[in-house]
Amino acid sequence: MKALKIPEATITRLSIYSRFLKRLDKKGITTVSSGDIAEGVGVSPAQVRKDLAYFGEFGTRGVGYNVKDLIRYTVKILGLSEPWNLVMVGAGNLGSALVTYREFKDRGFTIVGVFDNDLTKIGKRIADLEVMPLEDLPAVVQENNVRIGIIAVPAKAAQDIADIMVDAGLEAILNFAPISLNVPSNVEVRNVDLSVKLEILTFNLALRDK
């Protein structure tokens, strides 16, 4: 991989390309062009070629890309060659939905522990996982070599949960709470605020109406 800073938007598109390629592979398609990928995911062929060029030379001019090879390259680039264990705090409706979200397992992510501080939820099962008390989180992290945590709790509790995760040694957090977290600089955080995504849609629709 070239020693340059890769735009986050490129990584996002690479993930989308990878999933699209897996769908092609399931259909038995063996070769694909940048134009095919572009049409399938809604970007330009030039954008596809530019994104892939960050990571090396792929494909053959005039022929295209071997689908299986490009899947293997994108999976390796995205760090998905080995499975990833996750822990999640929050056993409410969102947490339950995330535990049963099939795409996680399909992409190599396994939630190995679900935690909550609500006594009415502790001991109950979500799919094949039993909800555990928060004090068990550090042990589960250590026993399962977990590096990523998911926060699916109300905003008022999210910072406390983030602190617990950092203290347990987690290196990255996917945060579904609508609040910015304060964490050490060596901890990666990605916020998923669904209301913000909706507001982008309403902004764009409002522009059309002007």
Q: Is 90 marked within a binding site? A: yes
Q: Is 94 marked within a binding site? A: yes
Cβ density class 57-87: b for 16+ within 10 Å, e for less: ebbeeeebbbbeebbebbbebeeeeeebbbb
CA distance 191 to 189: 7
DSSP assignments along 34-81, one per residue: HHHHHHHHTS-HHHHHHHHHTT---SBTTTBEEHHHHHHHHHHHTT-S
Q: Is 95 marked within a binding site? A: yes
Q: Is 92 marked within a binding site? A: yes
CA distance 90 to 126: 11
CA distance 69 to 59: 9
CA distance 101 to 202: 27
| Binding residue positions | 90-95
| Binding residue positions for NAD(+) | 90-95
